[in-house]
Copies of this chain bind each other. A is one copy, B any other.
Amino acid sequence: MKRLSTADAGFEAAFIALLAEARETAESVDAVVAAIIADIRARGDAALCEYTARFDRMEVAPASLRITAAEIDAAVAAIPAELNAALDLAAERIEKFHRAQLPQDLRLEDVPGITLGMRWTPLDAVGIYVPGGKAAYPSSVLMNAIPARAAGVSRIAMCVPTPGGVLNPLVLAAARRAGVTEIYRVGGAQAVAALAWGTASIAPVDRIVGPGNAYVAEAKRQVFGRVGIDSIAGPSEVVIIADASNDPRHVAVDLLAQAEHDEAAQSILITDSPDFATAVAAAVARELPTLPRAAIAGASWRDHGAIIIVRDFAEAAALADRLAPEHLQLMVPEPEALFARIRHAGAAFLGRFCPEAIGDYVAGPNHVLPTGRSARFASGLSVYDFLKRTTWVAQDQAGMARIGAAAVALAEAEGLHAHGRSVALRLT
């Protein structure tokens, strides 16, 4: 963990180094992934089953690629009531928030003879990738699928690897609760290729979302254009702005909640109190050994954690904007006022009783968020990812008479004569 202070002479250089820190090492898997995609395109289900046998140690026939309703029923029945209730609460709240995002069509009565508009329509079909093994998070299934359903997508196909044939009951329950319409027991680049290009068993989709390993990420890059994809997420991060009136232990555990995701995760505290900074650092040291994921959280905090001491919260806001964090917690007396001064963050959590973890599960807004300073230009997953816009112009002869001459002048200036003529013909 680095401790910096804006009052130090070397602060600016140290902060720039923090901003520039690369927390990811890119594995080069381009050629392997390209070969897998080409094979799925050429041989379809046969290739898909072969890769599944090889990578997931599981023999499966094409007819069994899809997980059956009976398998999902059995999984759901095995889940403790308390967890089912928690999934329900999460799903309801996520759905309510995402439905509230739904935009309105636009219709502009312009000058007489011209009407302009913009129409939103859902995508026809979406693919959701869910990683297998330990990283198969039911909360992520909800966060990826519910916005698609709220947008009105009628077909939501999910792919999840089931290494050794083992199903994850909570993931299946979350998929059913979220409105996923079909689930396939395939993963990796082969699953992405199948979703993008289709096989006899898996019909192609229009957009693929969801996290995955380096192979999945590269496969999404390679099928981009054929289908839409979401952004490739990097390691997660949180910036907490907190004053000395907070319980240092709360802040410490919040920092560790971020750090336990991944050794490459980053947790940063910004505070105006050097004593509070010291107290939080001490609380982190006390809490860390008690965590099941202490090794991961410890490595993240040691290598990427930081505490920055500022003179005041105006300085804190400016630093937060330069960090443009995925998650921003504002544990200060007037969090809304401070939030209004910060322009760049994926998601913000206002108040002392609002840790990021509440947003990871049940608050309602999405937990798929822009990482690595990309909140400067990108946004979290939303219904907008599953809608597209068609703009339209309705124009009659009177409308053409009003604006046609300008179009002809510009078309001629650009040397596009047929453009000009297609307008001019309607002006006579």
Which residues of A approach B to under 8 Å, CB–CB? 82-83, 85-87, 89-90, 93, 96-97, 100-101, 103, 106, 108, 110, 114, 116, 118, 121, 123-124, 134, 137-139, 170, 206-207, 225, 227-228, 232, 247, 249-250, 253-254, 256-257, 259-261, 287, 291-293, 297, 335-336, 339, 343-366, 370, 372, 374-380, 382, 384, 388-397, 399-400, 403-407, 409-411, 413-423, 425-426
Copies of this chain, how many? 2
In whole angstroms, how far apart are the Cα atoms of A114 and B97 in the complex?
Answer: 12
In whole angstroms, how far apart are the Cα atoms of A249 and B426 in the complex?
Answer: 11
Quote the shortest CB–CB distance from A61 to chain B (angstroms).
28
With A100-B108, A413-B170 as contacts: A393 and B291 at CB distance below 8 Å: no
In whole angstroms, how far apart are the Cα atoms of A415 and B250 in the complex?
Answer: 19
Quote the shortest CB–CB distance from A233 to chain B (angstroms).
11
Residue in B114, B254, B411, B426 whose CB lies within 8 Å of A363? B114
Quote the shortest CB–CB distance from A19 to chain B (angstroms).
12
Least CB separation from A231: chain B residue: B225
Question: Which chain B positions have C-beta within 8 A of A261?
Answer: 416
On whether the beta carbons of A359 and B393 are closer than 8 Å, the reply is yes
In whole angstroms, how far apart are the Cα atoms of A395 and B410 in the complex?
Answer: 54
Question: Which chain B positions have C-beta within 8 A of A170?
Answer: 413
On whether the beta carbons of A382 and B389 are closer than 8 Å, the reply is yes
In whole angstroms, how far apart are the Cα atoms of A129 and B375 in the complex?
Answer: 22
On whether the beta carbons of B378 and A388 are closer than 8 Å, the reply is yes
On whether the beta carbons of A393 and B365 are closer than 8 Å, the reply is yes
Question: Which chain B positions have C-beta within 8 A of A103?
Answer: 103
On whether the beta carbons of B365 and A392 are closer than 8 Å, the reply is yes
On whether the beta carbons of A380 and B375 are closer than 8 Å, the reply is no
Least CB separation from A123: chain B residue: B377
On whether the beta carbons of A124 and B395 are closer than 8 Å, the reply is no
Residue among A225, A336, A410 with the highest chain B CB neighbour number at 10 A: A410
On whether the beta carbons of B416 and A347 are closer than 8 Å, the reply is no
Quote the shortest CB–CB distance from A220 to chain B (angstroms).
13
On whether the beta carbons of A360 and B116 are closer than 8 Å, the reply is no
Question: Which chain B positions have C-beta within 8 A of A124?
Answer: 343-344, 376
Residue in B137, B139, B225, B388 whose CB lies within 8 Å of A232? B225
With A123-B376, A410-B87 as contacts: A348 and B391 at CB distance below 8 Å: yes
Cross-chain pairs A/B with CB under 8 angstroms, 12 sampled: A85-B406, A90-B410, A116-B365, A123-B376, A139-B410, A228-B378, A257-B419, A287-B418, A297-B418, A344-B388, A352-B426, A358-B393
Residue in B247, B335, B423 whose CB lies within 8 Å of A358? B423
On whether the beta carbons of A393 and B138 are closer than 8 Å, the reply is no
Residue in B336, B349, B366, B410 whose CB lies within 8 Å of A138? B410
With A89-B403, A123-B377 as contacts: A363 and B395 at CB distance below 8 Å: yes
In whole angstroms, how far apart are the Cα atoms of A362 and B395 in the complex?
Answer: 12
Residue in B346, B347, B406, B425 whose CB lies within 8 Å of A249? B425
On whether the beta carbons of B417 and A291 are closer than 8 Å, the reply is yes
Quote the shortest CB–CB distance from A239 to chain B (angstroms).
13
